[in-house]
Chains A and B, each alone.
Chain A
Amino acid sequence: MKHIKTIVKPVLKIVAGKGCGECQTSCQSACKTSCTVANQECENIKRR
C-alpha cells in the first residue's frame, strides 16, 4: 500500500475462550497506584 503501513495486526481479534488467567496481575508488577493492563505479558506467549 502506498498510503498505509500496518505496524500492528488486529491482535484483539484473536480470542481464546475465557483466557487462561495465568498472566501477571498488573499491580504486582511495578505500579500499585494506576492501571495499565496492556503492558502485561501473555503467559502463553512467554512460555513458548
Chain B
Amino acid sequence: MIHCYQFNEHNIVLDVNSGAVHLVSGVAYDILNFIHASGVFPPPGETPGTTPGGDLAPEGPLAIALCAALAEKHPAGVLTEALAEIRALAEAGMLFTDDSQVTPDMLEGRGAVIKAMCLHVAHDCNMACRYCFGDTGAFSGPRGLLSRETGKKAFDFLIRQSGARRNLEIDFFGGEPLMNFGVVKELVAYGREQEKRAGKNIRFTLTTNGLLLDEEKEAFINRHMDNVILSLDGRPEVNDAMRKTVGGQSAYARTAGNLRRFQQSRQGTYYVRGTFTKYNLDFSEDVRHLAEMGFPGVSVEPVVADKTRDFALREEDVPRILEEYDKLAQLYLEYAERGQTFAFFHFNMDLSQGPCVVKRVSGCGAGTEYVAVSPEGDIYPCHQFVGEPDFKLGNVNDEGFHNALYERFNAAHIYNKPACAGCWAKFYCSGGCHANAWHENEDLLKPYALGCALEKKRVECAIGIAAHLAPPRLP
C-alpha cells in the first residue's frame, strides 16, 4: 500500500508497510497515483509477499495501460524512465512492500506487564474548565485527594506488575495535582527508595494547570519531574472562554505569569498543552501565541466532548480544521526557517527511526501496560476511563490482581480494527485512542472517525515538514 499526497511544492509518496518516504517528480507522482488507483496491489495481509516487480515489467499490462493513460500528459520516454525507477525501488523493498514483518507475537504476545501509571492524586480542581473530560476534577465520583498510603500502594502495585521492565512512568495527574503536592513530594521520595530496591528507573511527569505553582514547588519539580505538562489554551480570550477558576474568574493572567516564571527556571522537558474547540477553529493562532511566549514545546489538541456540547467538534468542522493544520504547518516552517524551531507535539516525528514496529502495532498500551489509579486506589485502563464502573480493573489494595479486560484491550490493535486495515496512517496512530473509540462508538475496535481524519492530516503535515526541510530538492 502507498499513500500519495502533495505538501507545498512536494510530491510525497509513503510506502505504508516499510515506512519509506519518497519525494518524486510530477511524472513519477502521476504513475504512482495511477498504480494506486488501479488497485493492483491489495491491502497488506491479504497477499503477503506480493512482489510487484513483475507487474511493473515494461511490457506488462499495467505499464502499457498507464503509458496509454498518461500519454497526453508526459512523453513516452520520460514515462518509461520514471517507471524504471519505480520498479527498481519496488524490487529493493521500498515501494509496494508487504507487512510480513508483523508477527502474531508482536500483536498479542507481549505479556501482561504494566509499566506506566496515571496517578490521580487529586479528584478536585481549582479550575472548572467547561470542556473537562474529568467532570471538573471529580471524574463522576466524590471529590477527594489521594492519601499517601494509597499512593504508596499504587507504587508497590506498579513495581510488582512491571516484570522485567526497567523504565517505569508515573504521571501525577488530577484534577489538579498541586492541590495535593505534599503527597506528591512524599511519593516521589518513596518512589526513589523503591526504584533502588527493585532495580527500576521511575520517570515522573506532572500535569498541572499551573495556578498553584510557586518557586518552592518549581524547585522540587525541576529536581524530580522528567516531564511537565502545563495547561494553557493560547490567546487570553480563547483560554478564558473555556478555562475559568472555580469562582468563574479569568485564569489567563495568573497562569501565564506562573508559566513564564517556570519557563525561566525549568531545566528539562516540558510542554504547554492547550485544547481547541469549535470556538477556536483558528487554533494555529493559539499555537503562534504560545510559541511567541517562547515555550519550546507546544501541544494543542482537539477537544474530547460529547457531541451534544456546544463546543464539541463535529463532522462539518473537519474541512476547516484540516485547513488550519495546513496553516499551522506553514507557521512551523516559518519558525524553523528563521531558526526558531519549537516542538509541536503532533508534528514531532523522527522519521529516520521513531519507535519500533512492535510499538507501532501494539498501540497506546491503555488497559495492558498503562493504567490509571483513582484517589480511592481503583485501577482503570487509562485516565479517560476513570469513574466508569464497567472498566474498573481492581484496586491497589487487592491482594491478587487479575486484569479481566486485558485480553480485550490487548486484542484492540490495528489488525483487528476493520477501519485500520486499509488506512495508510495505521503505523503512526497505532489504531487511535481506545477511550475515544469507546466513548464515540461503544466499540474498542471501531476508531473515532473524526479523530482519524485529524490524525491523518497531522501525520501528513509532519512528513511534509520533514520533506520540506530535507535538502536538496528535486528540480
Contact = CB atoms under 8 A, between A and B. Distances in A.
Contact of B356 (A2, A10, A34, A42): A42
B118 interface: yes
Contact of A25 (B169, B275, B454): B169
Interface in B1-54: 15, 17-25, 27-28
Interface string B58-72: 000000000000000
Interface residues of B, number: 94
Given A4-B85, A7-B22, A38-B427, A22 B356 contact: no
Given A7-B467, A12-B357, A27 B22 contact: no
B430 interface: yes
A25 B81 CA distance: 45
Contacts of A21: 110, 113, 115, 165, 369
A1 B474 CA distance: 10
Contacts of A23: 167, 355, 359
Contacts of A27: 116, 118, 364, 366, 370, 382-383
A25 B116 contact: yes
A27 B88 CA distance: 40
B358 interface: yes
Contacts of A40: 354-355, 359
Contacts of A18: 105-106, 109-110, 358
Interface in B398-455: 427-433, 436, 451, 454-455
B363 interface: yes
A1 to B, nearest CB: 5
A38 to B, nearest CB: 4
Nearest to B23: A5
B144 interface: no
Contacts, number: 228
Nearest to A21: B165
B470 A7 contact: yes
Contact of B474 (A5, A15, A26, A29): A5
B321 interface: no
User: Is chain B's binding surface mostly helix, strand, loop or mixed?
Assistant: mixed
B169 A24 contact: yes
Nearest to B360: A37
A40 B383 CA distance: 19
Contact of A41 (B113, B350, B358, B458): B350
A31 B360 contact: no
Interface residues of A, number: 43
A26 B133 CA distance: 18
A39 to B, nearest CB: 5
A10 B357 CA distance: 11
B459 interface: yes
A35 B430 contact: yes
Nearest to A45: B353
B106 A13 contact: no
Contacts of A6: 20-22, 89, 94
A28 B81 CA distance: 48
Contacts of A28: 116, 118, 169, 171, 205, 227, 370
Contact of B23 (A7, A25, A29, A45): A7
B436 A34 contact: yes
B301 interface: yes
Interface of A: 1-19, 21-43, 45
- Across the A-B interface, give the 3 residue pairs with the lowest CB-CB distance, nearest first: A19-B358, A10-B18, A12-B19
26 contacts: A2-B25, A3-B24, A3-B81, A4-B25, A4-B28, A5-B22, A6-B20, A7-B466, A8-B19, A8-B20, A10-B93, A11-B351, A13-B101, A18-B109, A24-B203, A27-B116, A27-B366, A28-B169, A28-B227, A33-B275, A33-B302, A34-B455, A37-B360, A37-B428, A38-B355, A42-B359
